[in-house]
Chains A and B, each alone.
Chain A
Amino acid sequence: MSAETSLKEWLLAEEPQSRRQARWGAWYQSWLTFRSNTLAMAGLIILVLIILAAIFAPLLATDDPFAQDLGQRLLAPGVDGHLLGTDSLGRDIYSRLLYGARISIYIVLLVAMVAPLLGLVIGTIAGYMGGWTDEVLMRLTDIFLAFPRLILALAFVAALGAGIENAVLAISLTAWPPYARIARAETLTIRSADFIHAIRLQGAGPIRIITRHIWPLCISSLMIRVTLDMAGIILTAAGLGFLGLGAQPPSPEWGAMISEGRKYILDYWWVATIPGLAIFAISLAFNLLGDGLRDVLDPKEGGA
């Protein structure tokens, strides 16, 4: 009996011996379901490739992404060793694309940390406290939901100044309300649970209950939602970059690259098209992944 089969058996055991075994077993079962979903796996693979490309950008890049050469501008893909051609300042598009992947992942990670956290805090407080607090916070949520999203983000960036961190902040400020909703709904169901009553009887204060006992239970549903929202976040960030309010030159942010390349689109289609494809690839990967995850976690819904 090899170690591999024994591990598999341990994971798939009908009657797990420990809580740990049960948890790992459940994870493994989900992974098996996930793996059988071709589209979701495709998404995962694309995503892993993009992450690898981002990590190893310095090794994979053929040129300095910022090095200009005005004599070598707007070259077609393949010419003079430039795999994907060069842009209007003679910079290597392939190398810029690789470094741009870092920016996209950076944006996604930052937003994925800030927005749900904001929503979590507001939602759980509203749900747990109830009454006036709930009313006020939820009204605030409604106000932010009634805003035209991109315009609100634009307004924030305009107010804070253009730049990648500010773009992240702006996107987060517009993205939190749905998370607050989810967190609040979860809190409402948890609040009246017996174990919360028990803890409260032991004398725990609201802050302790919310942070120690309610937050951990909300996090998994928030994480699913975040994965599903990733593509939207990337597209919004690219949209801001396209409008010149995201990452600033000479940064190789993909949206900004499209914006720079659009004026050459008639004769030098690749300058704008290639970063467009990159954005498409990463958001498609996230969508496929999120879709697959939902299938795994909620088989009944099946892609809703």
Chain B
Amino acid sequence: MTSLADPKGGRPAPLHTTFLGKSIRLLATVAITLLGLLFVTFMIGRVMPIDPVLAVIGERATQQQYDETFIALGLDKPLIVQFGIYVRDVLHGDFGTSIRTGQSVAEDIRRVFPATLELATLGTLIGVVLGVPLGVVAAVRKGTWIDQLARLVGLIGYSIPVFWLGLVGLLVFYGILGWVAGPGRLGIFYQGLVEPITGLLLVDSLLRGNITVFKDAFSHIILPASILAYYSMAYISRMTRSFMLEQLSSEYVTTARVKGLSEWKVVWHHAFRNIRVQLITVIALAYANLLEGSVLTEIIFAWPGIGSYITTSLLANDMNSVLGGTIVIGAIFVGLNIFSDLLYRFLDPRSK
């Protein structure tokens, strides 16, 4: 819901400028936003009352070891210099070393990000498959029990604490019923069986033709993905309903009805077709929200994704990891916003 995607943002769209000018402006905007993001996170890390040196050397270290590490981490330099060095390194693709895992942050992120991507993608996919039809039906049958039910389902989705739903879900579907596999991404004995290509286990296992691993990975992902899907479904169905209502009350729909077109055709061929662009914008937003919002779900399900990576790093004051993770999520968020913004500008019939 940044200005880029929000038509109500109010900033005059510089549509009159040239395409090149627009692109440069866009790039500059993105660069400034990302730099700001970096700066804020960096500052938070520096004012945090947790000593990064202690996070490295632990409880038993002597003062001398402390001082050596202090200097090795570059903490003796002025803040602004530290920030400058950091930005320079990031521009070279170097996010530093994680003090918690002892590995390069870029490598860590390469490892954890696909896990979140896979979870959020499947979650959004299920959310779309269930949410869009639900929203359409609710709009068409406005005011009936179906509409009320859809609304209630949505409101419940907005109201349940995700960590609680996760706990209960795990207890019921894994603990009691045994329908799905437990926490984690993959059963322990299947680990390392599939050589990663994309890092997405479902995709990789299919590409490698290993159905057993696919089944196991699916059995692990389906519960957390469904829980996330519930939240995106609540959002998507609600937006779909309101878009559809707007279309259904418009004149051309009335005209189409008068012309004697079947209700199915009116709804799907006319009204629904017109909300596609808006809908994709909403889905992009829902997707972005899941990518950043899966933190608690990841913690409950021991999902080795970027959300739990950032959280645990934060609590250990492993600022390189936090900065790296935040910038990646922030960049994706901004990217998705730009994507839906462009889509809006160029594809939406009404903005032409």
Q: Do chains A and B touch in the complex (CB under 8 A)?
A: yes
Enumerate chain A interface residues (CB-CB to B < 8 A): 39, 127, 138-151, 154-156, 158-159, 161, 178, 181-182, 184-185, 188, 231-232, 235, 238-239, 242-243, 255, 258, 262, 265-266, 269, 272-273, 276, 279-280, 283-284, 286-288, 291, 300-304
Q: How many angstroms between the C-alpha atoms of A287 and B153 in the bound complex?
A: 12
Known: A150-B293, A182-B8, A266-B175. 16 other contacts (CB 8 A): A39-B148, A39-B152, A138-B3, A142-B29, A143-B33, A143-B36, A148-B333, A151-B314, A151-B322, A155-B41, A242-B163, A269-B171, A283-B161, A291-B155, A303-B242, A304-B243
In the complex, which residues 3-23 of chain B have their Cβ closer than 8 Å to any Cβ of chain A? Answer: 3-4, 6, 8-11
Nearest CB in chain A to that of B299: its residue = A243
Whole-angstrom CA separation of A288 from B148 in the bound complex:
12
Q: Which B residues, 165 to 179, have Cβ-Cβ distances below 8 Å to chain A? A: 167-168, 171, 175
Determine the chain B residues whose CB is within 8 A of the CB of A301 once the complex forms.
Answer: 242, 245
11 A-B contacts (beta carbon < 8 Å):
A146-B337, A148-B307, A148-B330, A155-B48, A181-B3, A242-B163, A243-B311, A266-B171, A280-B159, A284-B159, A287-B159
Whether A185 contacts B8 in the complex (CB less than 8 A), given A242-B161, A242-B163, comes out as yes
Nearest residue in A to B6 (C-beta to C-beta)?
Answer: A181
- Shortest CB-to-CB span from B12 to chain A, Å, is 9
Instruction: Tell me whether A304 and B245 are in contact (CB under 8 A).
Output: yes
Q: Which residues of A contact B334 (CB under 8 A)?
A: 146
Cα distance A158–B318 when bound, in Å? Answer: 12
Alpha-carbon distance A231/B2, docked complex (angstroms): 21
Minimal Cβ-Cβ distance residue in A for B10: A185
Given known A39-B148, A155-B44, A304-B241, contact A147–B159 (CB-CB < 8 A): no
What does DSSP make chain A's interface, helix, strand, loop or mixed? helix
Contact A140 B36 (CB under 8 A): yes
Measured CB to CB, the nearest residue on chain B to A242 is B163
At the interface, yes or no: B80 with Cβ under 8 Å from chain A?
A: no
CA distance A106 to B187 in the complex (A): 44
B156: contacting residue among A235, A242, A284, CB under 8 A: A284
> Nearest Cβ distance between residue B89 and chain A, in whole angstroms?
21
Q: Is the CB of A184 within 8 A of B238?
A: no
Closest to B337 in A: A146
- Complex interface: chain B residues within 8 A of A235 (CB): 159, 161-162
Cα of A158 to Cα of B307 in the assembled complex, Å: 16
Query: In whole angstroms, what is the CA distance A283 to B234 when docked?
Result: 15
A145–B161 alpha-carbon span in the complex (Å):
22
B125 within 8 A of A: no
Tell whether, in the assembled complex, residue B151 and residue A39 are in contact, meaning their CB atoms are under 8 Å apart: yes
CB nearest to A273 among chain B residues: B168
Q: What is the bound-complex CA distance between A232 and B162, given in angstroms? A: 11
Q: Please, which residues of chain B bring their CB within 8 A of the CB of A140?
A: 36
With a cutoff of 8 Å between Cβ atoms, the chain B residues found around residue A151 in the complex are 292, 295, 307, 310-311, 314, 322, 325-326, 329
State which of B37, B163, B299 has its C-beta within 8 Å of the C-beta of A258: B163
A300–B330 Cα distance when bound, in Å, is 35
**A140, B241: Cα distance in complex, Å:** 33
From B160, B241, B314, give the contact of A154 (CB < 8 A): B314
CA distance A147 to B327 in the complex (A): 8
